[in-house]
Amino acid sequence: MLKRVDLGEADKILTLYTPHFGKLRAVAKGVRRPSSRLGGHVDEFAYADMLLARGRDLDIVTQSQTLETFRRMREELWRGSCAYYIAELVDCFTEDRIENGPLFDLLVVTLRGLSESDDLWTTVRFFELHLLELVGYRPQLTHCVGCRTDIKPESNYFTPSLGGVLCPACGRNEVSGLPISLNGMKVLRYLQRLPAPPAGGLRLEPAVRREVESALRSYVEWLLERAVKSCAFLDRLRFEGMAS
Ligand SMILES: [Zn+2]
């Protein structure tokens, strides 16, 4: 589940992401009453097996059984905040009722990582790169998006408005190009190539992390034409030293 919003006195509207129908909105009726049978089984970000009935406007949740709650994500603020961020991105980048099985799998793997991994930074960057690919915006990291030459092992420029990397010659003339070091490029390419997040995480210098994170964030915000709401909260937690 990506999101829950209160409706009327006792209901909630749920935004769900499903393996076969993509994103769906459904009503969980009476779920805020203490006596509700559904109550304990419609947690935000949980992985659940649900039965929906076709409604006039929105589907109606008739049964729900939680399969995974991702416990540590609920107990630790930073883990939970990262989950808000990835759920917001999935919501922003998808339309209702368009099947995308690989994106469903990516979401489950990422939520599991946010509950279990000790390197949430890498879990979230892996998610961003692969989400972009699965919704048709794979960042171009091997050829210059200006002159098409192979990107060489040196400092280059990441350019959100062009969806990839510019070589030094092209990048110098592009005002929106963000410098990206050789190590920053290696991390982006490595994570893009991997089929699953690296089990042990990545040990990286803070400067390289900042570069990679800001390249991906700029690209996401350029595509959405706005800031991602939950990013402001993540930034504040980090500023206050509550991030890992
Ligand atoms: Zn070039």
What domains does the chain contain, in order, with CATH numbers? 3-68 (2.40.50.140), 71-239 (1.20.1440.120)
Cα(175) to centroid(ligand 1), Å: 14
- For the residues 63-80, what does the mean pLDDT come to? 94
Q: What is the pLDDT of residue 40?
A: 80
Q: What is the pLDDT of residue 226?
A: 92
pLDDT bin (cut points 50, 70, 90) of residue 63 is very high
pLDDT at 19 > cutoff 70: yes
Cα(195) to centroid(ligand 1), Å: 28
pLDDT at 65 > cutoff 90: yes
Cα(221) to centroid(ligand 1), Å: 23
Cα(117) to centroid(ligand 1), Å: 38
Cα(156) to centroid(ligand 1), Å: 9
pTM: 0.95
pLDDT bin (cut points 50, 70, 90) of residue 33 is very high
Cα(151) to centroid(ligand 1), Å: 8
More confident residue, 44 or 128: 128
Q: What is the pLDDT of residue 244?
A: 58
- For the residues 216-222, what does the mean pLDDT come to? 97
Q: What percent of the chain has pLDDT over 70?
A: 100
Task: Give the mean pLDDT of the chain.
Answer: 95
Distant-in-sequence contacts of 139-144, Cβ < 8 A, 24+ apart: 139/163, 139/164, 139/165, 139/188, 139/192, 139/216, 139/219, 140/164, 140/165, 141/165, 141/185, 141/188, 141/189, 141/192, 142/189, 144/170
pLDDT bin (cut points 50, 70, 90) of residue 42 is confident
- For the residues 146-160, what does the mean pLDDT come to? 97
- The strand order across the sheet containing 164-166 reads 164-166, 156-159, 178-180
Cα(119) to centroid(ligand 1), Å: 34
Residues within 5 Å of ion ligand 1, judged at the Cβ atom: 144, 146-147, 167, 170
- For the residues 43-47, what does the mean pLDDT come to? 92
Q: At a CB cut-off of 8 Å and minimum separation 6, what does 225 contact? A: none
